[in-house]
């Protein structure tokens, strides 16, 4: 059965208040760490792609509210407005792309070279068909520069029903940027996890 969009997206009622969240925080954190282990894919040496879900976004909002001491419904709603678009709808995968650099030297080397990388991420399905990531318009305005890229980008992948079926048979995540050509075959565990997003 398909989950409706209203159920899939988070509401204020899904976000625990501060005291209630402290009681569940350790358990939720352990659950999300395990989810992220399966849903995060390293592609080459400096890029990883984290496939977001309702659970990862709820944890993100709870942590933001905790750190920034957001206690009002209005404040929580602002966070929901930011993060709900990263919860995939049926037939979609939503991802955060991280350029993982740890030194100023690496930043100076890689960020200028990787301009446009947000348009260079794709899935290659059995048979060779591809599904390329789409940059969210609201993020593109903030993150796209002519001479240097950001370290974080947000992508959506839209699949047809036939492509979802093909996805189940094994899939590669690729980057075809001129300065960074890498690919990674997704594990069976990751494929099974992402099919939950595509099919529910």
Q: How far apart are CA 82 and CA 71, in angstroms?
A: 17
pLDDT digits (tens, 9 = 90+) for 125-180: 998 999 999 997 766 666 656 788 888 999 999 999 999 999 999 999 999 999 99
d(CA 134, CA 155): 5
Give 48's pLDDT tier (boundaries 50, 70, 90): very high
pLDDT at 130: 97
3 pLDDT band (50/70/90 cuts)?
A: very low
pTM for this one?
Answer: 0.89
Q: Domain range for residue 80?
A: 5-199
List the one residue out of 153, 163, 175 whose CA is nearest residue 90. Answer: 163
Region of 69 on the Ramachandran plot (φ > 0 left; ψ -120 to 50 alpha; else beta) = left
What is the pLDDT at residue 143?
A: 61
**DSSP letter, residue 4:** P
Average pLDDT value for residue range 101-111: 90
Q: Which residue has the higher pLDDT, 102 or 120?
A: 120
> What is the per-residue pLDDT for 8?
83
Output the pLDDT for position 4: 43
Number of domains in the chain: 1
Q: Does residue 66 contact residue 21 with C-beta atoms inside 8 Å?
A: yes
Contact (CB, 8 A) for 47 and 117: yes
> What confidence category does residue 50 fall into, taking pLDDT thresholds of 50, 70 and 90?
very high
What is the mean predicted confidence (pLDDT) over 13-35?
95
**In the sheet where 152-158 sits, what is the strand order?**
40-43, 47-51, 92-99, 152-158, 134-135
């Amino acid at each position: 059965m398909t989950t409706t969009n209203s159920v899939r997206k988070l509401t204020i009622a899904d976000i625990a208040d501060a005291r209630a969240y402290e009681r569940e925080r350790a358990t939720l954190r352990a659950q999300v760490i395990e989810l992220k282990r399966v849903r995060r894919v390293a592609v080459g040496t400096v890029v990883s792609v984290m496939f977001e879900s309702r659970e990862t976004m709820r944890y993100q909002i709870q942590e933001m509210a905790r750190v920034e001491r957001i206690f009002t419904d209005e404040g929580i709603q602002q966070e929901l407005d930011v993060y709900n678009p990263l919860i995939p709808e049926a037939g979609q995968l939503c991802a955060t792309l991280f350029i993982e650099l740890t030194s100023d030297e690496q930043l100076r080397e890689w960020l200028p070279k990787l301009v446009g990388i947000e348009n260079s991420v794709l899935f290659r399905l059995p048979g060779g068909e591809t599904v390329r990531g789409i940059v969210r318009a609201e993020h593109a305005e903030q993150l796209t520069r002519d001479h240097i890229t950001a370290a974080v980008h947000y992508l959506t992948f839209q699949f047809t029903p036939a492509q979802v079926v093909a996805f189940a048979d094994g899939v590669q995540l690729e980057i075809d940027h001129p300065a960074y050509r890498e690919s990674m075959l997704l594990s069976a565990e990751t494929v099974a996890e992402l099919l939950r997003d595509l099919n529910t």
